[in-house]
Chain A
Amino acid sequence: MTRHIISIKDFDRRQIDRLLDNAKRIDAQKYDKTALNGKILATLFFEPSTRTRMSFEAAMARLGGTSISVGSVEACSMAKGETLADTIRVVSGYADAIVIRHPKEGAARLAAQFASVPVINAGDGAGQHPSQTLLDLYTIRQSMKLDGINLALIGDLRYGRTAHSLASALSLYHVKLHTISPTGLELPPALITELGEKGMEIIDHDEIKDIVKEVDVIYVTRIQRERFPDSASYFNVTSNYRITPELLESAKKHAIILHPLPRVDEIDPRVDRLPNAKYFEQSKNGVPVRMAMLMQVIQ
């Protein structure tokens, strides 16, 4: 039996807490730096995501392990029409774990079915990306307890998988969710129902300034230009959702601002200097969180 990390929905609260506790110990340098000596991680990225990949490779290296990867997708058999199932069976023979990113939803679940080593999902299409959610939770937990906080989710909440997975996970912590999104990019109704059934309170707002005084976390996601007919309407919309120092004047002192990065115009660069800005910290936290994930699956 191998253990895989495919979807945040496979985790219960106890499992998430345990993983985040391990990440915290790692962050405090209380870990065995040779824990994964001699182990090999295969990173299979069927679509580019340089940072996620670097973050996993850095995590593996910090634990004494090695990473291998395909040079470019074009150069390998994946581009020649080989099934993912076959690729996974072959790569299972080379490595002690596989990290996969793939454009199709459910690809990681399929990979887990065919792999003889553990599989970690690093994003499958519009589907799941559990390491992002775990590092988001970890970053919030560095500043405050997760239980009962007020969290504002801003941006493209319809297509943004980061927002969906995070909302799902937060429903385990009695978080009150405030949503702010352009027309047409609201949270999908099915997800609202699902979260409601888990007891989550969700309140929709027109503008972030309506709620900025009350929230503990402001989680900003990217609004993609492709979602709008022209750049003028894109600019109109995004300017209404922008986080600025002026907006934050009325925010709680301890409130934090998160963003999965890369950002475009969603956050004014002047915000970077405020102690509330935690998005670079968040990105850095990807390494200890992924180290905890790798230790969990490989040992």
Chain B
Amino acid sequence: MKKEENNEKEELLVRRIQNGTVIDHIAPGEALNVVKILGITGSTTESLSIATNVPSDQMGKKDIVKLSNRELSKEEVDRIALISPRATINIIRNYKVCEKKGVEVPELIEGLVRCPNPGCISNTNEPIRSRFVVTPKGLHCIYCEWVLTRDIPSHII
């Protein structure tokens, strides 16, 4: 019953979508970063709704992003995992959730994050993509061995 009520509240905040993707259980405050890493700006054409700091049973508070007529690529899902590992991706077809999946932080991330070390070879014009190994401590640049531990969203390319 309680779950229903929560859903009702969400309905008030964010209109249901017919087809597209709902990114749910985003860490509170990260919705705008999610939008940013999906490359959505004022000049792109997606129909988009954002709800922030929505009450959540599991998380206390959460953010939600709803995107009409768009499904996410694997790379986009990986990017979301980096900033919000508990997020869930719901694919909506004809107002119904037809697929629901969690996100998973990959072991090796390529081309998603810029190395914060200005002296790193990966920040030059070499024909390579940045590469980080994901460790419990953070993201480890395979080139300069720098470990990125904080503020990962601001380093996402």
Closest residue of chain B to A125, judged by CB? Answer: B119
User: Does B95 have its Cβ within 8 Å of any Cβ on chain A?
Assistant: no
Q: A84-B121, A110-B121, A125-B119 are in contact. Are A105 and B144 (CB under 8 A)?
A: yes
B147 contacts A85, CB within 8 Å?
no
Count class of interface residues, chain B: 10 to 19
A9 contacts B145, CB within 8 Å?
yes
Bound: A126/B127 CA distance, A: 22
A105 contacts B121, CB within 8 Å?
yes
Bound: A250/B72 CA distance, A: 69
Question: What is the predominant secondary structure among interface residues of chain A facing chain B?
Answer: mixed
Q: A83-B127, A84-B126, A126-B119 are in contact. Are A106 and B147 (CB under 8 A)?
A: no
User: Does A190 have its Cβ within 8 Å of any Cβ on chain B?
Assistant: yes
Hey, which chain A residues are within 8 Å of B142, CB to CB?
A: 106, 109
Bound: A102/B120 CA distance, A: 11
A106 contacts B122, CB within 8 Å?
yes
Q: A109-B142, A109-B143 are in contact. Are A104 and B127 (CB under 8 A)?
A: no
Taken residue by residue from 104 to 129, chain B's Cβ proximity to chain A (1 for < 8 Å, 0 otherwise) reads as 00000000000001011110111110
Taken residue by residue from 190 to 226, chain A's Cβ proximity to chain B (1 for < 8 Å, 0 otherwise) reads as 1000000000000000000000000000000000000
Instruction: Identify B121's interface contact among A7, A9, A104, A190, CB under 8 A.
Output: A104
Hey, which chain A residues are within 8 Å of B147, CB to CB?
A: 190
Q: A105-B143, A127-B145 are in contact. Are A110 and B119 (CB under 8 A)?
A: no
Hey, which chain B residues are within 8 Å of A83, CB to CB?
A: 125-127
User: Does A37 have its Cβ within 8 Å of any Cβ on chain B?
Assistant: no
Give the residues from 91 to 142 in chain A that come closer than 8 angstroms, CB to CB, to chain B.
Answer: 102-107, 109-110, 113, 124-128
Give the residues from 149 to 179 in chain A that come closer than 8 angstroms, CB to CB, to chain B.
Answer: none
Bound: A9/B143 CA distance, A: 13
A105 contacts B126, CB within 8 Å?
no
B128 CB to closest chain A CB (Å) equals 6
A106 contacts B141, CB within 8 Å?
yes
Hey, which chain B residues are within 8 Å of A107, CB to CB?
A: 121
B111 CB to closest chain A CB (Å) equals 14
Bound: A102/B145 CA distance, A: 16
Instruction: Identify A127's interface contact among B125, B128, B144, CB under 8 A.
Output: B144
A85 contacts B128, CB within 8 Å?
yes
Hey, which chain B residues are within 8 Å of A105, CB to CB?
A: 117, 119-121, 143-146
B120 contacts A106, CB within 8 Å?
yes
Bound: A85/B124 CA distance, A: 11
Hey, which chain A residues are within 8 Å of B141, CB to CB?
A: 106
B143 contacts A85, CB within 8 Å?
no
Closest residue of chain A to B141, judged by CB? Answer: A106
Bound: A23/B147 CA distance, A: 33
- Which 9 residue pairs across A and B have the least CB separation, nearest first? A106-B143, A105-B144, A106-B144, A106-B121, A104-B121, A107-B121, A105-B119, A110-B121, A125-B119
Give 8 A-B pairs besides A83-B125, A105-B117 with Cβ atoms closer than 8 angstroms.
A104-B124, A105-B121, A105-B144, A106-B145, A109-B121, A110-B126, A110-B143, A128-B145
Q: Offer 8 A-B interface pairs, CB within 8 angstroms, sorted by A.
A: A83-B127, A84-B126, A104-B124, A105-B143, A105-B144, A106-B121, A106-B143, A128-B145
Q: Chain B interface (Cβ within 8 Å of chain A)?
A: 117, 119-122, 124-128, 141-147
